[in-house]
Amino acid sequence: MPSLIDLHMHSSVSDGILPPRAVIALAAARGVKVLSLTDHDTTAGLDEAAHGAHEHGLELVTGVEISATWRGRGIHVLGYAIDPTAPALAAGLERTRDLRRERARAIVMRLKRHALPGDELYELAAGGADVVTRTHLARALVARGLVQDPAEAYKRWLGHGCPGHVPANFCALAEVVGWIVASGGYAAVAHPLRYQFSAGTRRTFLSEFKAAGGVGIEVVTGGQSPTQVEAAMGLALRVGLDGSIGSDFHDPAIPWNPPGRLANLPACLQPIWMRPGFPQGAASIR
């Protein structure tokens, strides 16, 4: 049975495939009742998402997934129940999108040195969305027939150790959490097991996240095994963070994380969606 709540989804405003309205329509068709659209570093899809939610009788909580840096590593922080017009948040997101554009330009400069059509790739990548990501560059490489699929784009050109790899350089974790808190929202660490940390470093990271004002951690994400849910649950209990759940949906062609295909949040955890600012209907969902 699909989950009634899904707090992590992407639209074509960032690196998802479907426009916000179509994301909501799909979530509704799959039985989701409460959701958050959490595009990377932009809130530009939230108005359209709100209309879609109204149309389909769903409840929407404002959201965003912000790229941050901690000890030189890229980290994703989810912001929920944010006010997208709050000045610090809006300015921070704009700064982050600038950093993404700078990174994309640095990547295509490197690709040009390997005789790839860098300017054309940049135009293709930056054309549609409000934010340019490496996913867009990977798709541009596919569109130009330079690789078969996005996976090959990362393997040959964009990934660690490849000619087009440029390390991420986003704003500091504490600063990013601060933008979310200042906008009246709640910060949660996205997909905590995806970062290549040792166990000790992961706990230090989460403690610093909490000290900066973070309150949540994504315990259930799309395609996770029960063992991974348990590991994330352990982190939430140990550090004292509310639990969040979300599919990280991007693309209807990817079979393993459609909207709402999620395990329930373990009963020992406090759901982040019980906090004030989340839709009323969320309170009855476990």
Which residues of the shown chain bind Mn ion in the complex (CB under 5 A)?
15, 65, 76, 190, 248
Cβ distance to Mn ion smaller for residue 71 or 114: 71
To Mn ion, the closest distance from the beta carbon of 181 in angstroms equals 20
Cβ distance to Mn ion smaller for residue 76 or 261: 76
To Mn ion, the closest distance from the beta carbon of 39 in angstroms equals 8
Cβ distance to Mn ion smaller for residue 109 or 168: 168
SS3 of the chain: the string is CCCCEECCECCCCCCCCCCHHHHHHHHHHCCCCEEECCCECCCCCHHHHHHHHHHHCCEEECEEEEEEEECCEEEEEEEECCCCCCHHHHHHHHHHHHHHHHHHHHHHHHHHHCCCCHHHHHHHHHCCCCCCCHHHHHHHHHHCCCCCCHHHHHHHHHCCCCCCCCCCCCCEHHHHHHHHHHCCCEEEECCCCCCCCCHHHHHHHHHHHHHCCCCEEEEEECCCCHHHHHHHHHHHHHHCCEEEEECCECCCCCCCCCCCCCCCCCCCCCEHHHCECECHHHHHCC
To Mn ion, the closest distance from the beta carbon of 194 in angstroms equals 7
Q: Which residue is nearest to Mn ion (CB)?
A: 76
To Mn ion, the closest distance from the beta carbon of 221 in angstroms equals 9
Cβ distance to Mn ion smaller for residue 143 or 283: 143
